[in-house]
A and B are shown apart, each in its own frame.
Chain A
Amino acid sequence: ETGVTQTPRHLVMGMTNKKSLKCEQHLGHNAMYWYKQSAKKPLELMFVYNFKEQTENNSVPSRFSPECPNSSHLFLHLHTLQPEDSALYLCASSRASGTEQFFGPGTRLTVL
């Protein structure tokens, strides 16, 4: 398998649930990213990991908790989300100092 993969592709959860999104890249990159894409809003950067270290937390609420156990895997742990958190969550990876980011297919999250 090549590129950037994300699971699950679709997720429906209640506000009291705890779930995790998973991202895996097979490109040998050292930087990984979480983005949120809501309807009619720009793509928003949430978190950046560079060589497994978090280098950016873009004022994201604590109900979103990222984890990067190694350079190939990235998780986004979700708990007590709100309906306005419903969006497409995209993972991306790149070489640490590269130009191009490669995006995964995204997880479509619906919070009821």
Chain B
Amino acid sequence: GQNIDQPTEMTATEGAIVQINCTYQTSGFNGLFWYQQHAGEAPTFLSYNVLDGLEEKGRFSSFLSRSKGYSYLLLKELQMKDSASYLCAVRDHAPDAGNMLTFGGGTRLMVKP
């Protein structure tokens, strides 16, 4: 079966750094994705990791350790607009039949002044 765990809620201060963790146990692995979803809006793609290590994209970075079944999303210089849910998702096999993703429950991040 598929199991993806991430904290339900986190709170951080504007300007600070926050790390959102995700652990997964899946029957296969072919990539880990992070999406951002503001309340009432559609999820938007943030990052993709398939090899171990850190991928940096502006204020956001994502890390993957396949041996540990672990990823984190790092948000730097937090802004109020970063308040949203962050969804971790795993693709468990090659995408030749489409990108089938299994999502975690999401982490609701609240950024306070």
Which residues of A come within 8 Å of B, CB atoms?
A: 4, 31, 33, 40-45, 48-50, 55-56, 90, 94, 96-106
Contacts and interface: CB of A to CB of B under 8 A. Distances in A.
B102 A45 contact: yes
Interface of B: 4, 31, 33, 41-45, 48, 87, 89, 95-106
Contact of B98 (A33, A43, A99): A33
Given A42-B103, A42-B105, A50 B97 contact: yes
A18 to B, nearest CB: 26
A9 to B, nearest CB: 11
Given A42-B106, A97-B96, A106 B42 contact: yes
Contact of B95 (A40, A42, A45, A97): A97
Contacts of B105: 40-42
Given A99-B31, A99-B33, A31 B98 contact: yes
A48 B106 contact: no
A99 B48 contact: yes
B43 A43 contact: yes
B113 to A, nearest CB: 27
A99 B31 CA distance: 8
B43 A103 contact: yes
Nearest to A99: B48
B41 A94 contact: no
Contacts of B41: 105
